[in-house]
């Protein structure tokens, strides 16, 4: 790997979406600096490229000097950090509003050519959800500091490490009932590789500045997504619709746990559809044909089947 290869810093590059962006950029021949809180736990990114091409480095998005250090020398900066619930010092405001604004300001000051923000569909300063409000604040801060930035807003992202299909599959393995808050809320699930491809195209300058909303080719209700999960893992379970007011009470109690499966703020987020807005720029503007969930989730949800990877053999034997 030549030192003359361009360098991209991916803040949050060891996270679910960030690691796929890192893989994509390594395949394109870029040097990749993976900035994360605990680089010793991110050594799995090093084999994404040749020796020395992909390097994890320590970064605290709440610290000015730390962010400036990982941005120094980068031609492009990607911010891919977010939290679904608050824990310790990792508050929505600090990570999703102040963090990206800080990174964009420092990237502009350091002379970076481009800045890419991974946000989320539903980012709205008027949202009842603090998660969505701080996502919108982060976008505004990035645009103010780096007007040419590209902002990507994916719907719920799926892939082997996702916290969506995996969570409901794990729940169905243990419980005869799968509770669903907001069963009629609509989603447009998007494959993590497609999101990474969109980000990579923005990094190399193949995307016009502005906001892109990224959704897969199909829209599903929450109930339909859980039913799809049950079909893939070959389990029969009762899907129980949970009213929002009960969901909020449940979320308030579960928020007391260290790693809550549901929070009151997440319930507020579920009160609105999570789909690409009419007229919004999306994958088509980036020249990408997104993949549907059906053909992909089966490749990683099989461990949740009654006989795991041997389910097909067992079924054939019973035929």
Q: What's the mean pLDDT in 215-237? A: 97
Rounded CA separation 122/158 (Å): 17
- The verdict on residue 198 lying in a domain is yes
- The verdict on residue 57 lying in a domain is yes
pLDDT at 312 over 90: no
- The verdict on residue 247 lying in a domain is no
Helix (H) or strand (E) segment spanning residue 33: strand 31-36
- The verdict on residue 111 lying in a domain is yes
**pLDDT averaged over the chain?**
95
Residue 308 is predicted with a pLDDT of 72
Note the pLDDT tens digit of each residue in 55-104.
Answer: 999 999 999 999 999 999 999 999 999 999 998 889 999 999 999 999 99
Residue 314 is predicted with a pLDDT of 53
Are residues 128 and 88 in contact, defined by beta-carbon separation less than 8 angstroms?
A: no
Strands, E assignment, 53-176: 54-58, 76-79, 114-118, 150-154, 157-158
Rounded CA separation 80/100 (Å): 9
pLDDT at 315 over 60: no
**First and final C-alpha spacing in the chain:** 53
CATH number at residue 48: 3.40.50.720
Selection from 264, 230, 229, 223 nearest residue 85 by Cα: 264
If one compares 258 and 71, the residue with the highest pLDDT of the two is 71
Domain ranges, residue 148: 7-158+189-215+275-287
| Band of pLDDT at residue 2, cut at 50, 70 and 90 | low
Number of folded domains that form the chain: 1
Q: Is 92 helix (H, G, I), strand (E, B) or coil?
A: helix
DSSP secondary structure string for all residues of 292-319 = PSHHHHHHHHGGGSTTGGGHHHHHHHH-
| Band of pLDDT at residue 309, cut at 50, 70 and 90 | low
Note the pLDDT tens digit of each residue in 150-168.
Answer: 999 999 999 999 999 999 9
- The verdict on residue 37 lying in a domain is yes
- The verdict on residue 282 lying in a domain is yes
């Amino acid at each position: 790997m030549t030192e003359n290869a361009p360098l991209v810093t991916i803040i949050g590059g060891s996270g679910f979406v960030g690691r796929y962006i890192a893989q994509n950029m390594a395949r394109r021949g870029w040097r990749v600096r993976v900035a994360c809180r605990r680089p010793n736990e991110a050594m799995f990114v090093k084999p994404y490229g040749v020796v020395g091409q992909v390097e994890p480095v320590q970064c605290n998005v709440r610290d000015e000097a730390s962010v400036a250090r990982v941005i120094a020398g980068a031609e492009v900066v990607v911010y891919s950090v977010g939290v679904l619930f608050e824990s310790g010092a990792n508050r929505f405001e600090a990570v999703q509003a102040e963090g990206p604004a800080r990174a964009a300001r420092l990237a502009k000051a350091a002379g970076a050519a481009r800045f890419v923000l991974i946000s989320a569909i539903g980012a709205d300063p008027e949202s009842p959800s603090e998660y969505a409000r701080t996502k919108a604040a982060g976008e505004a801060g990035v645009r103010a500091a780096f007007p040419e930035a590209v902002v990507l807003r994916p719907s719920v992202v799926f892939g082997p490490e996702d916290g969506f299909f995996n969570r409901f599959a794990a729940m169905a393995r243990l419980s005869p009932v799968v509770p669903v808050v907001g069963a009629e809320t609509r989603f447009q699930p998007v494959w993590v590789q497609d999101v990474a491809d969109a980000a990579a195209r923005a990094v190399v300058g193949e995307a016009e500045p502005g906001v892109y909303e990224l959704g897969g080719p199909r829209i599903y209700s929450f109930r339909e997504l859980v039913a799809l999960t049950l079909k893939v893992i070959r389990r029969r379970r009762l899907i129980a619709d949970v009213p929002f007011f009960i969901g909020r009470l449940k979320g308030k109690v579960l928020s007391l746990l260290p790693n809550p499966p549901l929070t009151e703020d997440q319930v507020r987020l579920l009160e609105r559809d999570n789909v690409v807005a009419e007229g919004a720029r999306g994958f088509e503007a980036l020249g990408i044909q997104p993949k549907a969930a059906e053909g992909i989730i089966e490749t990683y949800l099989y461990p949740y089947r009654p006989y795991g990877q041997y389910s097909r053999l067992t079924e054939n034997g019973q035929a």
